[in-house]
């Protein structure tokens, strides 16, 4: 949520800021702005709407200066508007601030500042920061920043410029992501690496409670109390092209088609020449596994849906009771967590605020925490005891695709590794499963080569008011993810239903022509699903089935069938989700939706 970009150097800042913000559009936003410092004056330009509005304004009315901060805002306090957009400034126009996160005690601080004569023009929590900086400033901007940090509560990443200090940017991090890009005669701050890749591959990844004083020729790192910090440079190994569309019309489509490679990259390093699983990055011993009484999987959204598949794998193979919980609810219950509990947190970005908070609670209770994430150096990766990276590569579209399939794979490998240590699976069964996993990439490619049927189905259902997904077992888990994909990018109301629950209410919503997408990939549940299909067909539903090729007789029951290659039941989710991703994409495309940046949503949810 929100994107921060800052620049200091010898070049014109405005274009660099806009270029960087364009690379952060995937994070979700509703307004954009920049503040440029030049000859002791700060010029602020900010507008509701897409970044193109800001870009066009600056092209028509250039703003000069070699230091500045930029921002794309995702509204939390106050509606999207020009006034509520960032950057925010002090009354004397000498201080400008951009902010990602939430200031939890902003009302209290705002009322205190108002009693001191400060006037507020926006509805945001961020404006209290600019006024607080003005209040505390006595000629030493760093001292003022430290006092502000001691005053405010919540999560934040801050970028600050001050007219009296034209040679520096100040960056502050508490929980929300922030990096410092290291250039030659120029330096940068940003919410994420893609924003600076055009200029540098060297970055510092700030940790919570750290700040940076960024000048064009130097960077000083310290804790927010002023204690100096020494930090290793993180060298980015992937190319900027990996974060570009590469000829595809949308990032989402590109990332769907990148899944075979992502699967291969996630799997190959973990299978040795003897066909054995080797998770060398983990230090989970046989004795630890034997003493583990339960496992929690904590995640949000798509990662939560991957966790549901992980639960099935862990209980099926490792034979350890596993609970999957939504991170935003986890902390407010009474979880059964102690030193005999393994907590697995799953997050594509590694910065998901609710998941990070759940991680910290789990560690407080003495649990061992293992992270599954896609981002090296992310907060969740750094704070966990163990990390299993998915190696999906940059995922830009808000609707997650390749992150989901690689999370499923990572959870499956973990389940198998624990199963071997727990002696709950035979080597013969293990070899058979690994053999099936090794063909996943080519089987996904097979699906991606045959999309005409999916396009025709999208043509048939794109104007629907409601669409339902049904399934049993792990098919129901995949149905939840398929439904989420559809609703988040097409804005069609969609629900996923455990097929056996249809008679307990949902059948009342099935009418003539209502699309029902039925996942029928589990052989042991095949006959049950045929009965459920007949139930909805009897109420007039238009049924689209997703089934294995070997079960072609399903054509007698469904109106349309999307086939996936034949595989063992356990690993069907990594295949059956692909046509559902494509169907969502083509439905949204037919409806003219903003596929990569759906309304009201953000890629990295860094506020609770």
Residues annotated as catalytic (active site), given as ranges: 2, 603
Angle (nearest 5°) at CA 370 between 367 and 371: 135
List of residues 6+ apart from 404 with CB closer than 8 A: 302, 303, 305, 306, 481, 577
The token pair at 117 is 């004569």
CA atoms within 13 A on the CB side of 374: 25
* ω into 87 cis (within 30 of 0): yes
| DSSP H/E element including 414 | helix 402-422
Contact between 215 and 187 (Cβ < 8 Å): yes
Contact between 185 and 218 (Cβ < 8 Å): no
The token pair at 121 is 């023009």
Using DSSP bridges, classify how beta strands 95-103 and 154-162 pair: parallel, antiparallel or unpaired.
Answer: antiparallel
Where do we find the tokens 């939706």?
A: 593
Euclidean distance between CA atoms 467 and 540, whole angstroms: 13
The three-state secondary structure class of 592 is: coil
Using DSSP bridges, classify how beta strands 322-326 and 294-299 pair: parallel, antiparallel or unpaired.
Answer: parallel
Strands laid side by side in the 515-520 sheet: 493-498, 466-471, 515-520, 542-548, 560-564
What separation in angstroms does the CA of 266 have from each of 257, 277, 317, 384, 398?
Answer: 15, 12, 20, 20, 21
Residue 552 pairs in a beta bridge with: none
Euclidean distance between CA atoms 542 and 66, whole angstroms: 60
- Give the closest residue to 322 by CA, choosing from 314, 330, 331: 314
- 374: which DSSP letter? S
The token pair at 341 is 């509990």
Euclidean distance between CA atoms 312 and 478, whole angstroms: 12
The three-state secondary structure class of 279 is: coil
The token pair at 562 is 């999307």
């Amino acid at each position: 949520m929100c994107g921060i970009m800052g620049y200091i150097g010898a070049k014109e800042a405005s274009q660099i800021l806009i270029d960087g913000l364009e690379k952060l559009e995937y994070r979700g936003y509703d307004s954009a702005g920049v503040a440029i410092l030049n000859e002791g004056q700060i010029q602020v330009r900010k507008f509701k709407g897409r970044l193109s509005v800001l870009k066009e304004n600056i092209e028509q009315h250039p703003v000069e200066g070699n230091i500045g901060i930029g921002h794309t805002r995702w509204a939390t306090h106050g509606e999207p508007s020009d006034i509520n957009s960032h950057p925010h400034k002090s009354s004397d126009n000498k201080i400008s601030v951009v902010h990602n996160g939430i200031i939890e005690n902003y009302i209290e601080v705002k009322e205190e500042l108002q009693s001191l004569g400060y006037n507020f023009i926006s509805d945001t929590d961020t404006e209290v920061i600019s006024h607080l900086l003005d209040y505390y400033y006595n000629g030493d901007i760093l001292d003022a920043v430290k006092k502000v940090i001691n005053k405010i509560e919540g999560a934040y990443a801050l970028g600050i410029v001050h007219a009296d200090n034209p040679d520096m940017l100040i960056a502050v991090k508490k929980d929300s992501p922030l990096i410092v890009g290291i250039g030659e005669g120029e330096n940068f701050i940003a919410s994420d690496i893609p924003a600076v890749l055009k200029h540098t591959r060297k970055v510092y990844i700030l940790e919570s409670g750290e700040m940076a004083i960024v000048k064009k020729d130097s960077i000083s790192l310290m804790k927010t109390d002023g204690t100096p910090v020494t930090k290793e440079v993180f060298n980015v190994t992937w190319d900027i092209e990996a974060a570009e569309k590469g000829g595809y019309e949308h990032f989402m489509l590109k990332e769907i088609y990148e899944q075979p490679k992502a699967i291969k990259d996630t799997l190959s390093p973990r299978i040795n020449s003897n066909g054995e699983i080797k998770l060398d990055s983990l230090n989970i011993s046989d004795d630890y596994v034997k003493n583990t009484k339960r496992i929690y999987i904590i995640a949000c959204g798509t990662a939560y849906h991957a966790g549901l598949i992980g639960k099935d794998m862990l209980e099926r193979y490792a034979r350890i009771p596993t609970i999957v919980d939504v991170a935003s609810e986890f902390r407010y219950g009474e979880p059964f967590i102690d030193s005999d509990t393994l907590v697995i947190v799953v997050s594509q970005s590694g910065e998901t605020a609710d998941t990070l908070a759940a991680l910290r609670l789990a560690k407080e209770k003495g649990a061992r925490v293992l992270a599954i994430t896609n981002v090296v150096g992310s907060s969740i990766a750094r704070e966990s005891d163990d990390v299993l990276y998915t190696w999906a590569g940059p995922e830009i579209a808000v609707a997650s695709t390749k992150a989901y399939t690689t999370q499923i794979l990572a959870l499956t490998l973990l389940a198998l590794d624990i199963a071997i240590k727990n002696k709950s699976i035979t080597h013969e069964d293990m070899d058979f499963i690994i053999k099936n996993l090794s063909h996943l990439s080519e089987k996904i490619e097979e699906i991606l080569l045959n999309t005409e049927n999916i396009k025709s189905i999208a043509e048939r259902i794109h104007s629907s008011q409601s669409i339902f997904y049904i399934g049993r077992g792990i098919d129901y888990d995949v149905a939840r993810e398929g439904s989420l994909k559809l609703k988040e990018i097409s804005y069609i109301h969609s629900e996923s239903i455990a097929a056996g629950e249809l008679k307990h209410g949902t059948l009342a919503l099935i009418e003539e022509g209502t699309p029902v997408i039925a996942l029928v990939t589990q052989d042991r549940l095949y006959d049950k699903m045929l009965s459920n299909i007949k139930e909805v067909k009897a109420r007039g539903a238009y049924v689209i089935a997703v089934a294995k090729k070997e079960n072609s007789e399903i054509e007698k029951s469904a109106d349309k069938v999307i086939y996936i290659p034949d595989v063992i039941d356990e690993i069907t989710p990594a295949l059956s989700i692909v046509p559902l991703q494509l169907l969502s994409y083509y439905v949204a495309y037919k409806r003219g939706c903003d596929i990569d940046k759906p309304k009201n949503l953000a890629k990295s949810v860094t506020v609770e």
